[in-house]
């Protein structure tokens, strides 16, 4: 007589799906060539300050590959309230003041977006 071991098929338990509701701000500006070095120095400081704020998940500084005077920011927060708190923080006001004269014209673009997927 031969015995056969049968393993019970237990359904794998998965955590419930949840939607990631991060809030992202992206913006692009052209910096006057004579201010590029100052911009890079100060925006790096602003990024470090921002990343230490509650709710700031990511703060990326982008520079165009063909035009070194075009910069972008990618700011990701846990939610819109965290983004608004960041904008009201003293460091944000400091940044606006220190960088005011460095830009060549108006913003090239700015978007506020909320994630819609994928579900995790």
**CATH classification of the domain holding 95:** 3.30.70.100
Check: CB of residue 114 under 8 Å from CB of residue 43. no
Specify if 95 maps to a domain: yes
The whole-number pLDDT of residue 89 equals 94
Specify if 2 maps to a domain: no
Specify if 18 maps to a domain: no
The whole-number pLDDT of residue 15 equals 53
The number of folded domains in the chain is 1
Residue range of the domain that includes 107? 23-114
The whole-number pLDDT of residue 55 equals 95
Instruction: Provide the residue-wise pLDDT of the chain in tens; the chain has 120 residues.
Output: 444 444 445 455 555 555 468 999 999 999 999 999 999 999 999 999 999 999 999 999 999 999 999 999 999 999 999 999 999 999 999 999 999 999 999 989 999 999 887 765
Task: Output the CA–CA distances (angstroms, integers) from residue 8 to 2, 5, 12, 13, 73, in the order listed.
Answer: 19, 10, 12, 15, 53
Specify if 51 maps to a domain: yes
């Amino acid at each position: 007589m031969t015995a056969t071991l049968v393993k019970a098929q237990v359904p794998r338990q998965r955590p419930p799906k949840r939607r990631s509701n991060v809030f992202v701000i992206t913006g692009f500006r052209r910096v006057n060539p004579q201010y590029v070095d100052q911009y890079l120095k100060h925006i790096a400081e602003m990024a470090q300050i921002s990343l230490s704020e509650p709710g700031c998940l990511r703060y990326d500084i982008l520079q165009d590959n063909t035009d070194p005077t075009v910069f972008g920011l990618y700011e990701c927060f846990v939610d819109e309230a965290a983004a608004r708190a960041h904008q009201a923080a003293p460091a944000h006001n400091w940044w606006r003041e220190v960088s005011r004269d460095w830009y060549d014209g108006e913003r090239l673009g700015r978007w506020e977006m909320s994630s819609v997927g994928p579900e995790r």
